A = this chain, B = another copy of it.
Amino acid sequence: MKESDEFLILQKYFKNLGSQYNDSSGIIVGPGDDAGLFSTNKLDLIFSTDVSNSNIHFPKSLKPELIAYRACSVAASDIPACGGTLKWLSISLVSPTTDLAWLKKFAEGLKLFTSDYKVPVIGGDLIKGRECSVSVGVCGEVNKKDFLSRGGAQEDDLIFISGTLGEARLGLKVLSSKKKNLSKEEKKYLKKFLKPKVHTSLGKNLQNIATSCIDISDGLLGDLGHICNQSNKGAEINIESIPHAGPFQDALTWGDDYELCFTAPTNREKEINNLAKSLKIKINKIGKITNTRVIKFYNGEKRVHLKQTSYNHFKK
Protein backbone atom coordinates (compact mmCIF):
# COMPACT_ATOMS: atom_id res chain seq x y z
CA MET A 1 0.00 0.00 0.00
CA LYS A 2 1.11 3.52 -0.70
CA GLU A 3 1.66 6.05 2.07
CA SER A 4 -1.36 7.93 0.77
CA ASP A 5 -3.74 5.15 1.71
CA GLU A 6 -6.41 6.23 4.15
CA PHE A 7 -5.58 3.52 6.63
CA LEU A 8 -1.90 4.34 6.69
CA ILE A 9 -2.63 8.05 7.07
CA LEU A 10 -4.80 7.23 10.07
CA GLN A 11 -2.10 4.96 11.47
CA LYS A 12 0.66 7.45 10.97
CA TYR A 13 -0.82 10.79 11.91
CA PHE A 14 -4.06 10.20 13.76
CA LYS A 15 -3.47 7.16 15.93
CA ASN A 16 -1.86 8.37 19.11
CA LEU A 17 -3.26 11.85 19.56
CA GLY A 18 -3.20 12.60 23.26
CA SER A 19 -2.76 8.89 24.03
CA GLN A 20 -0.58 9.84 27.00
CA TYR A 21 -3.90 10.81 28.66
CA ASN A 22 -5.65 7.51 27.84
CA ASP A 23 -5.19 6.15 31.35
CA SER A 24 -6.42 9.26 33.12
CA SER A 25 -9.43 9.36 30.79
CA GLY A 26 -10.21 5.66 31.07
CA ILE A 27 -9.55 4.86 27.41
CA ILE A 28 -8.81 1.16 26.99
CA VAL A 29 -8.97 0.92 23.18
CA GLY A 30 -8.26 4.07 21.15
CA PRO A 31 -8.30 4.74 17.40
CA GLY A 32 -7.79 1.77 15.07
CA ASP A 33 -10.60 -0.61 15.97
CA ASP A 34 -14.30 -0.58 15.02
CA ALA A 35 -15.01 1.52 18.10
CA GLY A 36 -13.11 3.01 20.99
CA LEU A 37 -13.54 1.41 24.42
CA PHE A 38 -13.49 3.44 27.61
CA SER A 39 -14.28 2.93 31.23
CA THR A 40 -15.79 5.41 33.63
CA ASN A 41 -15.70 5.90 37.37
CA LYS A 42 -18.75 8.10 37.37
CA LEU A 43 -22.11 6.77 36.35
CA ASP A 44 -23.12 10.02 34.65
CA LEU A 45 -21.51 11.31 31.48
CA ILE A 46 -22.14 14.13 29.05
CA PHE A 47 -21.68 14.22 25.30
CA SER A 48 -21.85 17.00 22.75
CA THR A 49 -20.92 17.44 19.14
CA ASP A 50 -20.15 20.50 16.99
CA VAL A 51 -19.40 20.84 13.30
CA SER A 52 -16.97 23.48 12.01
CA ASN A 53 -17.23 24.10 8.28
CA SER A 54 -15.00 26.12 5.98
CA ASN A 55 -16.44 29.48 4.89
CA ILE A 56 -18.96 29.35 7.72
CA HIS A 57 -16.93 28.91 10.88
CA PHE A 58 -13.50 29.69 9.49
CA PRO A 59 -12.01 31.06 6.24
CA LYS A 60 -11.29 28.39 3.65
CA SER A 61 -7.62 29.38 3.58
CA LEU A 62 -7.05 28.92 7.31
CA LYS A 63 -4.04 26.76 8.10
CA PRO A 64 -5.03 23.12 8.78
CA GLU A 65 -3.43 23.06 12.24
CA LEU A 66 -5.52 26.10 13.20
CA ILE A 67 -8.71 24.63 11.73
CA ALA A 68 -8.15 21.51 13.84
CA TYR A 69 -7.37 23.35 17.07
CA ARG A 70 -10.29 25.74 16.76
CA ALA A 71 -12.77 22.95 15.93
CA CYS A 72 -11.72 21.18 19.13
CA SER A 73 -12.02 24.34 21.27
CA VAL A 74 -15.45 25.15 19.93
CA ALA A 75 -16.78 21.65 20.59
CA ALA A 76 -15.04 21.16 23.93
CA SER A 77 -16.50 24.42 25.24
CA ASP A 78 -19.87 22.70 25.78
CA ILE A 79 -18.48 20.44 28.48
CA PRO A 80 -17.51 23.13 31.05
CA ALA A 81 -20.72 24.96 30.10
CA CYS A 82 -22.49 21.95 31.65
CA GLY A 83 -20.18 21.86 34.67
CA GLY A 84 -18.35 18.80 33.35
CA THR A 85 -14.76 17.64 33.04
CA LEU A 86 -13.36 16.78 29.59
CA LYS A 87 -12.88 13.03 29.09
CA TRP A 88 -12.16 12.49 25.38
CA LEU A 89 -12.62 13.84 21.86
CA SER A 90 -13.74 12.12 18.67
CA ILE A 91 -12.73 13.70 15.35
CA SER A 92 -14.54 13.27 12.01
CA LEU A 93 -12.76 15.08 9.24
CA VAL A 94 -14.11 15.65 5.75
CA SER A 95 -10.84 16.71 4.19
CA PRO A 96 -10.82 19.06 1.20
CA THR A 97 -7.53 17.59 0.06
CA THR A 98 -5.52 14.38 -0.12
CA ASP A 99 -2.31 16.34 0.37
CA LEU A 100 -0.33 14.55 3.05
CA ALA A 101 1.35 17.73 4.29
CA TRP A 102 -2.09 19.27 4.91
CA LEU A 103 -3.30 16.18 6.81
CA LYS A 104 -0.14 16.04 8.86
CA LYS A 105 -0.53 19.69 9.86
CA PHE A 106 -4.19 19.07 10.72
CA ALA A 107 -3.14 16.20 12.99
CA GLU A 108 -0.52 18.47 14.60
CA GLY A 109 -3.26 20.96 15.47
CA LEU A 110 -5.25 18.17 17.11
CA LYS A 111 -2.17 17.04 18.99
CA LEU A 112 -1.52 20.51 20.35
CA PHE A 113 -5.10 20.74 21.61
CA THR A 114 -4.89 17.33 23.30
CA SER A 115 -1.73 18.39 25.06
CA ASP A 116 -2.98 21.88 26.03
CA TYR A 117 -6.12 20.41 27.61
CA LYS A 118 -4.73 16.99 28.61
CA VAL A 119 -7.45 15.10 26.79
CA PRO A 120 -7.10 12.12 24.44
CA VAL A 121 -8.73 11.35 21.08
CA ILE A 122 -10.76 8.13 21.24
CA GLY A 123 -11.31 7.74 17.50
CA GLY A 124 -12.82 9.32 14.44
CA ASP A 125 -13.31 9.11 10.73
CA LEU A 126 -11.48 10.56 7.75
CA ILE A 127 -12.94 11.01 4.29
CA LYS A 128 -12.27 13.20 1.28
CA GLY A 129 -14.98 15.71 0.36
CA ARG A 130 -15.43 18.97 -1.51
CA GLU A 131 -15.32 21.27 1.48
CA CYS A 132 -13.55 21.01 4.81
CA SER A 133 -15.88 19.94 7.60
CA VAL A 134 -14.76 18.91 11.06
CA SER A 135 -17.23 17.26 13.38
CA VAL A 136 -15.88 16.97 16.91
CA GLY A 137 -17.61 14.85 19.54
CA VAL A 138 -16.71 15.55 23.16
CA CYS A 139 -17.38 13.41 26.20
CA GLY A 140 -17.20 14.66 29.75
CA GLU A 141 -17.96 13.49 33.25
CA VAL A 142 -20.31 15.16 35.69
CA ASN A 143 -22.56 13.91 38.47
CA LYS A 144 -26.11 14.38 37.29
CA LYS A 145 -26.96 16.51 40.34
CA ASP A 146 -24.18 18.90 39.28
CA PHE A 147 -25.16 19.15 35.58
CA LEU A 148 -25.52 22.82 34.67
CA SER A 149 -28.45 23.07 32.28
CA ARG A 150 -29.75 26.09 30.43
CA GLY A 151 -33.06 25.75 32.21
CA GLY A 152 -32.23 26.32 35.86
CA ALA A 153 -32.29 30.13 36.19
CA GLN A 154 -34.50 31.46 39.00
CA GLU A 155 -36.13 34.86 39.47
CA ASP A 156 -33.69 37.41 40.95
CA ASP A 157 -30.64 35.27 40.10
CA LEU A 158 -27.73 37.42 39.00
CA ILE A 159 -26.40 37.05 35.46
CA PHE A 160 -22.64 36.85 34.87
CA ILE A 161 -20.36 36.57 31.88
CA SER A 162 -16.69 35.69 31.70
CA GLY A 163 -14.17 37.63 29.61
CA THR A 164 -14.77 40.38 27.05
CA LEU A 165 -17.27 39.99 24.23
CA GLY A 166 -16.52 40.92 20.63
CA GLU A 167 -12.82 40.10 20.70
CA ALA A 168 -13.20 37.03 18.48
CA ARG A 169 -15.11 39.11 15.95
CA LEU A 170 -12.22 41.58 15.84
CA GLY A 171 -9.81 38.66 15.56
CA LEU A 172 -11.65 37.37 12.50
CA LYS A 173 -11.36 40.84 10.97
CA VAL A 174 -7.60 40.83 11.63
CA LEU A 175 -7.38 37.38 10.05
CA SER A 176 -9.38 38.42 6.99
CA SER A 177 -7.26 41.56 6.53
CA LYS A 178 -4.18 39.34 6.03
CA LYS A 179 -2.28 42.14 7.74
CA LYS A 180 1.27 41.46 8.88
CA ASN A 181 3.14 43.08 11.79
CA LEU A 182 0.21 42.92 14.16
CA SER A 183 -0.07 45.05 17.28
CA LYS A 184 -0.26 43.39 20.69
CA GLU A 185 -4.02 43.97 20.76
CA GLU A 186 -4.52 42.55 17.30
CA LYS A 187 -2.57 39.47 18.27
CA LYS A 188 -4.80 39.07 21.33
CA TYR A 189 -7.96 39.33 19.20
CA LEU A 190 -6.61 36.91 16.62
CA LYS A 191 -5.81 34.38 19.35
CA LYS A 192 -9.32 34.79 20.75
CA PHE A 193 -10.77 33.81 17.37
CA LEU A 194 -8.31 31.02 16.60
CA LYS A 195 -7.92 29.50 20.05
CA PRO A 196 -10.87 30.49 22.21
CA LYS A 197 -10.17 29.42 25.80
CA VAL A 198 -12.12 26.37 26.90
CA HIS A 199 -13.23 27.35 30.41
CA THR A 200 -12.50 23.96 31.99
CA SER A 201 -11.65 25.28 35.47
CA LEU A 202 -14.42 27.84 35.60
CA GLY A 203 -17.08 25.35 34.46
CA LYS A 204 -16.07 22.75 37.02
CA ASN A 205 -16.03 25.34 39.81
CA LEU A 206 -19.47 26.65 38.87
CA GLN A 207 -21.05 23.20 39.44
CA ASN A 208 -22.37 24.06 42.88
CA ILE A 209 -22.70 27.80 42.41
CA ALA A 210 -24.48 28.49 39.13
CA THR A 211 -28.16 27.72 38.53
CA SER A 212 -27.78 27.74 34.72
CA CYS A 213 -24.96 28.13 32.23
CA ILE A 214 -24.31 28.36 28.49
CA ASP A 215 -21.26 29.02 26.35
CA ILE A 216 -21.61 32.08 24.14
CA SER A 217 -21.23 30.58 20.68
CA ASP A 218 -23.88 32.49 18.76
CA GLY A 219 -23.83 35.85 20.56
CA LEU A 220 -24.85 36.89 24.08
CA LEU A 221 -28.36 37.95 23.13
CA GLY A 222 -29.24 34.67 21.45
CA ASP A 223 -27.57 32.51 24.06
CA LEU A 224 -28.99 34.40 27.04
CA GLY A 225 -32.29 33.99 25.20
CA HIS A 226 -31.83 30.20 25.41
CA ILE A 227 -31.30 30.41 29.18
CA CYS A 228 -34.41 32.59 29.55
CA ASN A 229 -36.56 30.42 27.26
CA GLN A 230 -35.55 27.17 28.83
CA SER A 231 -35.84 28.56 32.36
CA ASN A 232 -39.18 30.15 31.43
CA LYS A 233 -37.87 33.49 32.69
CA GLY A 234 -36.80 36.92 31.44
CA ALA A 235 -33.87 39.23 32.21
CA GLU A 236 -32.89 42.81 32.86
CA ILE A 237 -29.46 43.65 31.49
CA ASN A 238 -27.35 46.71 32.24
CA ILE A 239 -25.52 47.22 28.95
CA GLU A 240 -22.88 49.43 30.57
CA SER A 241 -21.67 46.44 32.57
CA ILE A 242 -20.93 44.27 29.55
CA PRO A 243 -17.20 44.31 28.81
CA HIS A 244 -16.79 44.49 25.07
CA ALA A 245 -14.35 45.23 22.28
CA GLY A 246 -15.32 46.70 18.93
CA PRO A 247 -18.84 47.76 17.95
CA PHE A 248 -21.30 47.09 20.78
CA GLN A 249 -23.99 45.50 18.62
CA ASP A 250 -21.40 43.11 17.12
CA ALA A 251 -20.13 42.19 20.57
CA LEU A 252 -23.64 41.18 21.61
CA THR A 253 -24.82 39.40 18.51
CA TRP A 254 -21.73 37.87 16.98
CA GLY A 255 -20.65 34.60 18.49
CA ASP A 256 -17.23 32.95 18.51
CA ASP A 257 -16.12 34.26 21.90
CA TYR A 258 -17.00 31.03 23.76
CA GLU A 259 -17.15 32.86 27.06
CA LEU A 260 -19.55 31.47 29.66
CA CYS A 261 -22.81 33.17 30.56
CA PHE A 262 -24.30 31.88 33.80
CA THR A 263 -26.78 32.70 36.53
CA ALA A 264 -26.43 32.35 40.29
CA PRO A 265 -28.34 33.37 43.43
CA THR A 266 -27.46 36.83 44.79
CA ASN A 267 -25.84 35.36 47.91
CA ARG A 268 -23.17 33.62 45.80
CA GLU A 269 -21.81 36.84 44.28
CA LYS A 270 -18.85 37.11 46.63
CA GLU A 271 -17.89 33.50 46.01
CA ILE A 272 -17.98 34.15 42.26
CA ASN A 273 -15.76 37.21 42.62
CA ASN A 274 -13.29 35.16 44.67
CA LEU A 275 -13.38 32.42 42.05
CA ALA A 276 -12.63 34.97 39.32
CA LYS A 277 -9.62 36.17 41.31
CA SER A 278 -8.26 32.72 42.03
CA LEU A 279 -8.69 31.54 38.43
CA LYS A 280 -7.48 34.91 37.07
CA ILE A 281 -10.56 35.13 34.85
CA LYS A 282 -12.55 38.33 34.39
CA ILE A 283 -16.16 37.77 35.46
CA ASN A 284 -18.74 40.56 35.26
CA LYS A 285 -22.25 40.80 36.63
CA ILE A 286 -24.42 42.11 33.81
CA GLY A 287 -27.98 41.91 35.12
CA LYS A 288 -30.59 39.75 36.77
CA ILE A 289 -33.24 37.21 35.94
CA THR A 290 -36.88 38.32 36.04
CA ASN A 291 -40.20 36.55 35.94
CA THR A 292 -41.35 38.30 32.75
CA ARG A 293 -40.17 36.14 29.80
CA VAL A 294 -38.78 39.32 28.19
CA ILE A 295 -35.16 40.48 28.04
CA LYS A 296 -34.97 44.23 28.79
CA PHE A 297 -31.86 46.36 28.35
CA TYR A 298 -30.95 49.41 30.37
CA ASN A 299 -28.31 52.06 30.05
CA GLY A 300 -28.21 53.18 33.67
CA GLU A 301 -31.90 53.89 34.38
CA LYS A 302 -32.88 54.35 30.75
CA ARG A 303 -34.37 51.47 28.82
CA VAL A 304 -32.75 50.86 25.41
CA HIS A 305 -33.89 48.68 22.56
CA LEU A 306 -31.41 46.29 20.94
CA LYS A 307 -31.94 44.15 17.89
CA GLN A 308 -32.02 40.65 19.30
CA THR A 309 -30.30 38.56 16.72
CA SER A 310 -27.74 35.83 16.81
CA TYR A 311 -25.89 33.78 14.24
CA ASN A 312 -28.32 31.53 12.41
CA HIS A 313 -27.48 29.13 9.61
CA PHE A 314 -31.03 28.82 8.42
CA LYS A 315 -32.25 32.40 8.53
CA LYS A 316 -33.59 33.36 5.14
In the assembled complex, the Cα of A91 lies from the Cα of B287 at a distance in Å of: 35
Instruction: For residue A293, give the distance in angstroms from its CB to the closest CB of chain B.
Output: 14
Which stretch from A40-48, A111-119, A236-244 is at the chain B interface?
A: A40-48
Which stretch from A138-146, A162-170, A277-285, A295-303 is at the chain B interface?
A: A138-146
In the assembled complex, the Cα of A51 lies from the Cα of B53 at a distance in Å of: 14
- A128 part of interface (Cβ distance < 8 Å): yes
Known A6-B314, A131-B129, A314-B4: A142·B48 in contact at CB below 8 Å: no
Contact A130 B127 (CB under 8 A): no
Known A5-B315, A44-B38, A316-B4: A90·B32 in contact at CB below 8 Å: no
- A94 part of interface (Cβ distance < 8 Å): yes
Contact with B along A199-211 (1 / 0, CB 8 A): 0000000000000
Which stretch from A61-69, A76-84, A174-182, A249-257 is at the chain B interface?
A: A76-84
- A35 part of interface (Cβ distance < 8 Å): yes
Known A35-B84, A90-B137, A92-B135: A49·B123 in contact at CB below 8 Å: yes
Pairs across A and B, CB under 8 Å, 14 listed: A2-B316, A4-B316, A6-B314, A7-B226, A33-B150, A35-B84, A37-B44, A39-B43, A40-B40, A40-B45, A45-B45, A47-B137, A49-B135, A133-B135
Taking beta carbons and an 8 Å cutoff, which residues of A are in contact with B? 2, 4-7, 9, 28-29, 32-41, 43-51, 53, 56, 78-79, 81-82, 84, 88, 90, 92, 94, 98, 122-131, 133, 135, 137-140, 142, 144, 147, 149-151, 213-215, 226, 230, 312-316
